[in-house]
Amino acid sequence: MANQLKIVNDPIYGFIRLPSERVFLLIEHPYFQRLRRIRQLGMTHLVYPGALHTRFHHALGAMHLMGEAVEVLRSKGHLITPEEAEAVTIAILLHDIGHGPFSHALEDSIVPGIRHEELSSLFMDRLNRDFDGSLQLALTIFRDQYPKRFLHQLVSSQLDMDRLDYLSRDSFFTGVSEGVISHDRIIKMLEVQDDQLAIEEKGIYSIEKFIVARRLMYWQVYLHKTVVGAERLLISILKRAGELVRSGQHLFATPALDLFLRNSFTLDDFRERPDLLDAFAELDDSDITTAVKIWSKGPDYILRELCFRLVNRRLFKIVLRKDPFSESEIREISERIRDRFSVDERDMHYFLETGSIVNNAYNSSSDKINIILKDGTVKDIAEAADTLNIKELSTTVEKHYLLFPK
């Protein structure tokens, strides 16, 4: 019982309470403690030095907001049993447990083709066995298989506790005030209509600001061009390291990192081999940062050059624009790179990269943010909003980039 009284001092919400003994034990588990060693925002600290908070911070914050949301919905007459309340709290607590080093940045490098949500689900299955099946309801809600669908929407939707926390937390640690949202007012305005999560009409302006804040945070933080450039550089480093290791060369790496550099495992591999999940649980940011520092003085010229640049923040130049780059523009830069760095054509992709980034603050084609009007009718926020053109903000904006050494 003493553990149920534990509190955590959070910089965003103040003192937050751990709601149950089971939640405390889950937080104490090594799988969850690993999140202390994974940065929430990957390489963003190279642009915003304060962005050093972790997935551990975020998970606890989302858990706290879930408790607030459950109490608000209960106060409005919606039945949420104690078992359901604990289960939905556990679901949001563990929703990011499958993230790899540097969060999204290396999702396609360490385990290509496997999304972190799929690994989170596998981790939750393992924890469910460790906790004698007591997480089954949390798993059912997490996978959207529970009859009360609004509980899943609190975990994963366009207005879930995950987004409410990361926007508040990321804006705080980066110092980007445009990302500040009224998370407390949004939660107070939560309602359920026809088993769908919704917002009371008087909360509409807070939702409009939430959507605008999300759009601005993507351009200013998550898709900041320097952040994108740093993440692409790190991805190239891991690809080059994997290429060298698989060709028989020896590189310094922790056992877990070496395993994933040498192999491309599928989701079925993870399901069939329990040891892979344990190996993945050994990976965190320190595996990558230590290896990159060692590789920056290694024998391979390409790997050494890329790592030196990342360690010393000599990042590649990145050019963003609306239209794709022409073949002549790419060819001209590649010729300059070839002259300067003596790079073969087959290795040019390590020094010259093109691609695109997209920003979609609100996607009305998927689950919508519903507004309950005073007459009881329900409208999508894109139709109900009157002060801002949310329809414009819901359109996808794509920008093309060209990445190369200065």
**pTM for this prediction:** 0.94
Going from N- to C-terminal start, the domains of the chain cover 2-223+369-398
Tens of pLDDT, residues 187-224? 999 999 999 999 999 999 999 999 999 999 999 999 99
- The C-alpha angle with vertex 211 and arms to 210 and 212, in degrees rounded to 5, equals 95
Q: Which stretch of DSSP H or E encloses residue 185?
A: helix 183-188
Q: How far, rounded to the nearest angstrom, does the alpha carbon of residue 28 sit from its chain's CA centroid?
A: 22
pLDDT at 3: 57
Query: Which positions ≥6 away from 239 have C-beta within 8 Å?
Result: 109, 350
pLDDT(80) > 60: yes
For residues 127 and 281, is the Cβ–Cβ distance under 8 A? no
Q: What is the per-residue pLDDT across 157-197, written as a single tens digit (0 to 9) for each? A: 999 999 999 999 999 999 999 999 999 999 999 999 999 99
Per-residue pLDDT of 117-140, as tens digits, reads 999 999 999 999 999 999 999 999
CA–centroid distance for 180 within its chain: 18
pLDDT at 2: 55
User: What homologous superfamily is domain 2-223+369-398 in, according to CATH?
Assistant: Hypothetical protein af1432 (1.10.3210.10)
In DSSP notation, 96-157 reads TTT--TTGGGGTTTTSTT--HHHHHHHHHHHHHHHTTTTTHHHHHHHTT-SS-HHHHHHHSS
Q: Which of 317, 324, 403, 401 is nearest to 355 (CA)?
A: 401
Query: CA-CA distance, 165 to 63, in Å (whole number)?
Result: 9
